[in-house]
Amino acid sequence: PCPLCPPQLALLYEEVLYTIRHRLGKPEQQHVRDSQELYSYVQKAFGMNEEEHGAIMQQVMELESPIYCLKATVKEAKGILGKDVSGLSDPYCLLGIEARSQEPAHPDHKKRMKAVVKDLIPEDQIHRTQVINQTLSPVWNETFILDSDVVESMRHKLGELTDLHGLKRIFKDARKDKGQDDFLGNVVVRLKDLHCWNDQWYQLEPRTETYPERGHCHLQFLLTHKKRATTSSRTQPSYTVHRHLLQQLVSHEILQHQAGSTSWDGELSSHASTVLYLHATQKDLSDFHQDMAQWLAYSKLYQSLEFNSSCLLHQITSIEYRWVQERLRPEQKAELAESFQSLLTYGVSLIRRFRIIFPLSVPRSTERLQSLLRVLVQMCKTKAFRELCTPSPDLPQMISTALKVLGVSIENKLFFPLQSIEENSKALSKLLLEVIEDLKQCQKIWNKLFTAHRAEQAVGGWCQWEHLQEGFGLISGWGWCDRSRGDNPVLLMWGWRTGAFPHRDGPLALSNFHQWFEEALPLWLQKAYSTALERAQRAIQMDQLKPYGYHKHSTSTVDLSTCYAQIVTTWKQLNWPDPEKAFMIMVNLLEDMCKISLMYCKLIKERAEALSLREQNEGEAANKLCIVVNNIEQLRLLMLRLPSQLDWAQLERRMRGLIDPQQIQNALHNQLDSTVACLDHEVRDVVQALATKSIIPLMKFLESELQYLNEHLVQENFKSSTGAAGALAPALPEAVLCPEGTKGKQGVPGKDRGLVGGSQHPCPQSLELCFHAEGCGLPLETLHSATFRTLETHLALCSATSRKLIQKYFSNRIQQQLDTSSEKYGAVTIKALYRPSEQKLRVEVLNATNLIPLDSNGSSDPFVQLTLEPRHEFPEVVARSTQCKRNELHPLFDEAFDFLIPSEKCRQEGACLLLTVFDYDMLGANDLEGEAFFPLCHLPGLDTEEDEADMGRVPQTRLPLTHPKPTDEILQLLESRKKDKEAQAFLKLRKQRAKQSKETE
């Protein structure tokens, strides 16, 4: 865009300094609050030095201040009271500005705040809306402007905001026959709390507490200027000044991004957004004129500075939405029409060179081109464009013409220097790859963008095919690519033949160009198979049969899976259009991968045997067999994922009606199932060998260890860090340890199987996984021997011991509560009764007293949570809670709760009702007031067969609140049981309560 001359730039700078100096309203959260920061920003954006800035700033300070105005719009109300006999009202609204502050002396004294407009403001300064008859949801949409001509100095009220009470709104129904209006509600808005622009619903406040719910009112406020003293405001239209300011700031933003080697995405900085927001609101610029100014500025800047054209889409869409031609003066219409025509011409010139301007090698090029096309299409569809740009240009025809005269030619690339045949062949091959890549791009990418024309039109001017036909020679198939040279596997897989491109008189047809390379497919498939086979063989030779990182398989499986992934990727990129030929390619690929898989099983077992001969340690040899099993299993999973990765379902849909479904089943699914069955057989053979070598010493070891545990282990004092299973782990051979898996019937793990050395603890299911091998190893009857049953018994005993410790913990807490008479943390009073016939426990929470103040205001917001403990005895009973009582240290709850529990559970050791009193916290975690324990074994009615007791006769029970101790012997025992999830979950909860108690103290 044409830059402003120095005098124009100085006037615009004066305008923006004046805007900042006389800013109004409370700053928005996302805007800059410090005016000095804004001064520094605009000084950089306008390129002003200190001397120039100081001189213009002095001029601004000498200018007369503007008249400050409040533009108030009363939109609508809803849910107001009905005061007529019909149940409706005839509401209207009074509004005005009160000059003096009416802040009450004390927060509880709200009488002055409830005063109505007619009692506070002179009649001639009150604005009144129309009366809307018989409704409870009136709609006014009336706007009033309040400035210094109406009340005393608005500068005092809107600028200094000294002793200002605010803006008051009062809703009344229409005057009744008796001459008295009924009060419906009012809204008090302080001017100092208003932003430059506010639009929200306000709750109508009552004058008395008789009807507290009086509905809501929708109000809009705008703080503006009148009679601005700057030269620009007095001589130019507001939207023109705003456009120049916008253009100056956006240019600065774009250049700042380019200096940082990044492109501008249309997001303005907070400084620029603040300045533009202040200027638009102070000048009361409508949304339509703001959008128009942004369109004029952005469309000009787009033609000289680089940024995303999607920034234009919002403005052109908004102009279309608000388009009213009569609101524009003739010069504005001409300016808007010129911007349309200029952007259209520039956009078409970019499309003419779209391969250069939007190359696919640059990220997001297609998005940028698509965005430009969307903007042009949307612009040409608008009513403004059709009315102002007559006759209206034909956009599809302009784009089609531009694409047919693309300025890139390939003729110069055909004149190769006279070199050796090999070098000329490489040069021609490189050229052919460029042609093929362009054909693929036209078919798969460009055609999706240029929906108004065919893909061959986009590439029709790219190549002179008669020259290509003369220059093509015989080039042998290249086979698998070498990624170290940066080759593209999709392009290097093709072979070429003489006369591949037939002579064409018309434009190039892209729909069948795949047929030119059909004869090269067998060469590539054979080369792909041999290369993958060699790669798998090399990977096995280098494999040491050790776990790869955190995985349970070794490196050769990783290499083989990479080969398969490349084949899958190539199949997707190939996307052969002919379904029958595509089916044959898929059959060949599957056959090759199946042969490689079976070869891999044979070679990896030989590799394990060779490495085992060098090992002196039998455990290490067993570990290598485990890795072999894991490798084969990983390969089996890879094969099972092929149908989804290669999208067999889509291929079968394409083949529907062309090939018999049974033929597809035989060629694909049956072949894959046969290979998977062979892999399963290989797994069984290796597991059988592993079991034969490892089962006898393992069983002897387990028998001796478990005999020792039976004789010496005392569960009540057991403080080992691992439990019974952990005690066995250090001495077990690594070959029998396995990761967790999903368990099938009889505890046998399912398909997610695997064997690997490591630090995980053995369990009966893990041993079955190793030695039973899903029915292919040792029989279950042998594995379910006395040794395994004894191990399972000890593991179950560990869990039972944790539960005993938890029960003991609650018994101790109950006894501690009975032994204390202190109510340091307060107390809670309840009544409890058990009804045997219904198996129902009824609890009434009456009150709490003498609670600790935990809020900053010296009070608390307490509520009581009721749970039945221990949780393993009552797993189905959910926790219950009372209502929260605000600002109370002696809350009265008076709430009842029912729990369905069998009587025998109530008699268990440690069974109790846990009452936890919390202080509700809206933002963070609730604070702990204290907890109390009511033993269920003492429940009234528990020892009777009939419901003899009545809740009214049950005595009240006062329970003192206690806090958990930071150290507890039972909790220390539970903490040592690292592998017991139930013990760790209970320990975590009690630690959290102890931490809350410490914070409270």
Among candidates 176, 212, 184, which has minimal Cα distance to 81? 184
3 state DSSP class of 867: strand
Helix (H) or strand (E) segment spanning residue 650:
helix 648-654
What pLDDT score was predicted for residue 733? 35
Distance CA(619)–CA(694), nearest Å, equals 8
Sheet order of strands, 827-835 included? 892-900, 840-849, 827-835, 957-960
Whose CA is closest to 371, among 399, 406, 347?
A: 347
Which pLDDT belongs to residue 695? 57
Compute φ and ψ for 451, nearest 5 degrees.
-70, -15
What is the secondary structure of 436-490 as a DSSP string? HHHHHHIIIIIHHH-TTS-HHHHHTTT--HHHHHHH--------S--GGGT--TT
3-state secondary structure of 27: coil
Q: What is the DSSP letter of 177?
A: T
Residue 222: what are its φ and ψ, rounded to 5°? -140, 125
How far is Cα 226 from Cα 70, in angstroms, rounded to an integer?
A: 10
- How many residues are there in the chain? 1001
Q: What is the pLDDT of residues 220-266, one digit of tens each?
A: 888 888 889 999 999 998 888 998 999 899 889 888 887 766 677 77
The values of phi and psi at residue 255, to 5°, are -65, -35
In the DSSP assignment, the letter for residue 158 is I
Q: In what order do the strands lie in the sheet with 139-146?
A: 139-146, 67-78, 216-226, 197-203
Which has the closest alpha carbon to 802: 993, 982, 992? 982
Interhelix angle 330-352/287-302, rounded to 10 degrees, is 40
- Fold category of 521-694 in CATH: Tetracycline Repressor; domain 2 (1.10.357)
Q: Amino acid identity of 744?
A: G
> Which helix H or strand E contains 827, and what residues bound it?
strand 827-835
Contact 553, 631 (CB under 8 A): yes
Q: Which residue, chain included where needed, has tokens 């060779």? A: 610
What is the identity of the amino acid at 65? S
| Sign of the C-alpha dihedral computed for residues 925, 931, 933 and 939 taken in this order | negative
Instruction: Choose among 650, 480, 671: nearest CA to 587.
Output: 671
- Tokens representing 243 are 């456009």
CATH topology of domain 802-996: Immunoglobulin-like (2.60.40)
Distances (CA, A) of 744 to 638, 753, 769, 787: 22, 11, 11, 22
* Rounded Cα distance, 922 and 284, in Å: 41
**Residue 197: strand, helix, or coil:** strand
pLDDT for the residue numbered 947: 62
Q: How far apart are CA 365 and CA 825, in angstroms?
A: 68
Tokens standing for residue 502: 């037939």
> Residue 751: what pLDDT?
38
pLDDT at residue 998, rounded to an integer: 60
Which tens digits make up the pLDDT trace of 439-497? 677 767 776 677 543 333 333 333 333 333 333 332 323 333 333 333 333 333 333 32
Low-confidence stretches of the chain (pLDDT < 70) are 1-2, 99-121, 147-181, 207-212, 260-262, 325-326, 404-419, 421, 425, 436, 439, 443, 447-448, 451-514, 516, 615-619, 691-799, 945-949, 998-1001
Q: Give the pair of three-digit tokens for residue 985.
A: 């979950």
Pairing of strands 840-849, 892-900: antiparallel
> How many other β-carbons are positioned within 10 Å of the β-carbon of residue 289?
22
- Residue 426 pLDDT: 73
Phi/psi at 807 (5° precision)? -60, -40
Domain boundaries, the chain: 286-393, 417-500, 521-694, 764-799, 802-996
Q: How high is the pLDDT of residue 254?
A: 86
Per CATH, 521-694 and 802-996 having the same topology is answered no
Position 475 scores a pLDDT of 30
pLDDT of residue 180: 58
Q: List all residues 6 or more positions away from 703 whose beta carbon is below 8 Å from its beta carbon.
A: 787
